[in-house]
Amino acid sequence: MSARAGIVVTGTEVLTGRIQDLNGPWLADRLLELGVELAHITMCGDRRGDIEAQLRFLADEGVDLIITTGGLGPTADDMTVDTVARFSGRELVLDNRLEEKIADIVSRLMARFPDVDAEAIRVANRKQALIPEGADVIDPVGTAPGVVVPGSPTVVVLPGPPRELQPMWPLALQTAAVQKAIAGRTVYRQEMVRMFGLPESGLADTLRDAEREVDGFDRLEITTCLRRGELEVVTRFEPDAAETYADLMAVLRDRHGDAVFSEDGSRIDDQVARLLTGRRIATAESCTGGLLAARLTDLAGSSAYVAGAVVAYANDAKSGLLGVDPALIEKHGAVSEPVAEAMADGALNRFGADTAVAITGIAGPGGGTKEKPVGTVCFSLKLADGTAVTRSMRMPGDRADIRERSTTVAMHLLRRALS
């Protein structure tokens, strides 16, 4: 049995859904990379009894490591450290070095607010320098330090904001207590394949066949996930099962070679960014409202290839901003392949680009007809050399799904046209 861990996500705001938990999934991925089995992720509000109940539950489950997130601030509802100390049977002691460090951080932050009582702030933050006796301190990225409490199980206490937690995790990992807790981990390899244009049922059929055809298939731990209209296939295995994984990949390539677009886990966004090197792209969007432009510009350095974007939602905007002939809209409708093509031409011309993508569709929940139901989306890709690709598709899901999946289709049209 590999080393096992549990995660306790604290915070009433997370429990009630006002804030989405980003820490649990992120830490789960880090544990998976280490070869540590994740037994449970639990969530509770800012109540001592509930936090302690989660710790005791995980300890009773026999985990070697518990990671908590949240509840490390200076206010009354920040009680994770105190609760962990009680759970571990340790007294809280003041760490003078840490108190000075926090005071220095706070004083620099408060310098922008001269009317604030700095001493009162310092007293309030003194609480954050109370550490379980014998624990390792992880210096704060914000004002809240982390702590590693040795024991069985070892408990790692980290702050709630992801921008603080993530850089502190590697430091926690380096402590002797955590290394001892995860000493029994199994070293795994993990590979990811991304596919597009294949239904989940088709992949499921192939994996059932592979279970019979691939020798040692049971040594592969395979997880599939549909995300943004793409299938992600994550396979984890011990290094000596590499040949078995290679046999599985041979089956996937043979059955679904056209659908596999990434064997190294790289995203379509990164692939398109590389293919756009030396080019200038413009987008014209209606139903997606700029989401495609947002994906293209999400990567650093995108200013080198993104020329601009037009969100032309209304028909007069399509005509006024992109030069779409109103008669074309009148004849075919705003959601049509001729209008999508005209929008792409307009984007090419307006920005002097050599690559353009246009999207127009019906995202719903209203606006659909028998001929053009909700989910109908038309795409047009144009290159300055005359290459043109136009498609119409029926997207499943609700409004958000239709809009997001439409951007994924557009990215794949780009990849295929530019490859």
Render pLDDT for 131-143 as a digit per residue (tens, 0 to 9).
999 999 999 998 8
The beta strands (E) that lie in 210-330 are given as 221-227, 230-237, 260-262, 281-285, 306-311
Mean per-residue pLDDT, 390-394: 97
Render pLDDT for 172-221 as a digit per residue (tens, 0 to 9).
999 999 999 999 898 889 999 999 999 999 999 999 999 999 999 999 99
- Interatomic CA distance for residues 159 and 165, integer angstroms: 6
Mean per-residue pLDDT, 359-384: 97
Q: Quick one: pLDDT at residue 99? A: 87
Q: Quick one: pLDDT at residue 1? A: 60
- Interatomic CA distance for residues 230 and 395, integer angstroms: 13
The model's confidence at residue 118, banded by pLDDT at 50, 70 and 90, is: low
The model's confidence at residue 114, banded by pLDDT at 50, 70 and 90, is: confident
Alpha-carbon distances of 358 from 229, 276, 318, 373, rounded to whole Å: 19, 17, 11, 19
- Interatomic CA distance for residues 236 and 244, integer angstroms: 11
25 preceded by a cis bond (ω within 30 of 0): no
Round the average pLDDT of the chain to a whole number and report it: 94
- Interatomic CA distance for residues 158 and 67, integer angstroms: 7
Q: Quick one: pLDDT at residue 194? A: 98
Q: Are 146 and 156 in contact (CB under 8 A)?
A: yes
Is residue 112 over pLDDT 80? no
Q: Quick one: pLDDT at residue 100? A: 87
Share of the chain above pLDDT 70, in %: 98
Q: Are 72 and 145 in contact (CB under 8 A)?
A: yes
Mean per-residue pLDDT, 375-383: 98
Q: How many C-beta atoms surround the C-beta of residue 346 within 10 A?
A: 23
Mean per-residue pLDDT, 65-81: 90
What domains does the chain contain, in order, with CATH numbers? 4-182 (3.40.980.10), 189-265 (3.30.70.2860), 269-418 (3.90.950.20)
User: Length of the chain in residues, anyone?
Assistant: 419
pTM score over 0.85: no
Is residue 130 over pLDDT 90? yes
Is residue 107 over pLDDT 80? no
Give all strands of the β-sheet with 230-237 in edge-to-edge order: 221-227, 230-237, 189-196, 260-262
Is residue 233 over pLDDT 70? yes
Mean per-residue pLDDT, 289-296: 98
Q: Quick one: pLDDT at residue 115? A: 73
Q: Are 31 and 5 in contact (CB under 8 A)?
A: yes
State the sign of the Cα–Cα–Cα–Cα dihedral 289, 399, 234, 63.
Answer: positive
Residue 358 bridge partners (DSSP): 284, 380
Who has greater pLDDT, 92 or 74?
92
Is residue 40 over pLDDT 90? yes
- Interatomic CA distance for residues 41 and 5, integer angstroms: 9
Q: Quick one: pLDDT at residue 106? A: 77
Is residue 63 over pLDDT 90? yes
> Who's near 136: CB < 8 A, 6+ residues apart?
147, 148, 150, 175, 176, 177
